Amino acid sequence: MTAISGPSTTLDSSTILDAIERLDAMPTSVNRLLELAENQAAGMSDVAEIVRFDAVLSADVLRKANSPMYGARQAIVDATMAVGRLGLDDVLHMAMVRAMRGRMAEALPPYGFDRDGLWKHSLETSIAAECISHFSAEPTPNGAGTAALLHDIGKLVLADCVPRSTMMRIAQTAKETGRQMHELEVEVLGLHHGQVGATVARAWGFPVSVQVAITGHHPPYPGDDLLSRIVRTANAMAHELDPFVENPNNSIAQTTADSILRCGVDIRRIGEMYELAVTTRDEVLASFN
């Protein structure tokens, strides 16, 4: 195995936490929804109350409640009814999608992301995770869409607290040797962006299951729970959505298909699932434009 040249820059927890503090604070609606998620006595009326006073979130919730994923026979035009159809987990996910838009806009050259590149990939991964959950025959856990949305948030933190020259050195070594970025991050920094992302999720109050799924979207995997498998599989799917549009019959890697099957999706419905992911992706992007 080819080692990366140059000095190591081991990160400590205080450096990471300082970088997390520099991220913009979550909107009030997100914080209130996270509080409701921890409150077993909270009901859908409490969620609806938050949504009603956030016009943008209301529009997002209505759009999602009327999307093909929910197969509504009759259009929903009231935000309270939309909340009843979606549930707290989906509403929180929609709030997070909107909240992360500006935070993930910057270019990250070491990871090959132009401006909005991280945002688009995170959004696609999030939508893919929701589609997997929708098509899975297994009872899927809450938090898949949000965990997938945040799976690469650690890259944003590393770009803030690690010298750009160090990150570019890691990227160049990955390109020259064919090694994975997350492997080289561990070698140079002492941890990879998935582990950093889990620290972000913990600081923002997300449950341990979401933290584990973010940590484990690259090997070595801390666990093989269904939520982690969905996030890993969704990450692979996100890289294949545009090739699928160009050639639906020859764009899904066998490794990705195998992972999809391990998430409980019928092999006969994989193409349909990709189609839904692409349609949903395009609708969400259009809503932001």
Residues of the chain with pLDDT under 70: 1-9, 71-73, 222-223
Rg value, the chain, Cα:
19
Q: Can you count the helices (H) and strands (E) in the chain?
A: 17, 0
d(C-alpha 184, C-alpha 192), whole Å: 8
Distance CA 159, CA 196 (A): 11
Find residue 113's DSSP bridge partners. Answer: 108
Strand partners, 108: 113
Give pLDDT, residue 117: 95
Report the b/e string of 231-268 with b at 16+ CB within 10 A.
bbbbbbbbebbeebeeeeeebbeeebbebbeebbbeee
- Of 166, 181, 23, which Cα lies nearest the Cα of 104? 23
Q: What is the pLDDT of residue 1?
A: 47
Distance CA 206, CA 264 (A): 25
Q: Rounded CA gap, 255 and 202, in Å?
A: 30
**Confidence (pTM):** 0.90
CB 184, CB 174: distance < 8 Å: yes
Per-residue pLDDT tens over the stretch 188-239: 999 999 999 999 999 988 999 999 999 988 877 766 899 999 999 999 999 9
Q: Residue 111's pLDDT is what?
A: 94
- Write the secondary structure of 53-105 as one string of H (helix), E (strand) and C (coil): CCHHHHHHHHHHHCCHHHCCCCCCCCHHHHHHHHCHHHHHHHHHHHHHHHHCC
Q: Tokens 């990705």 label which residue?
A: 256
> What is the per-residue pLDDT for 195?
93
As assigned by CATH, the class of the 13-24+105-288 domain is: mainly alpha
Q: State residue 6's pLDDT score.
A: 56
Question: Of 210, 216, 212, 162, whose CA–CA distance to 190 is shortest?
Answer: 162
Structural domain boundaries of the chain?
A: 13-24+105-288
User: Exposed/middle/buried for 82, CB within 10 Å: 0-12, 13-18, 19+?
Assistant: buried
- Could you tell me if 69 and 79 are in contact, meaning their C-beta atoms sit under 8 angstroms apart? no
Report how far residue 15's alpha carbon sits from residue 33's, in angstroms, rounded to the nearest whole number: 28
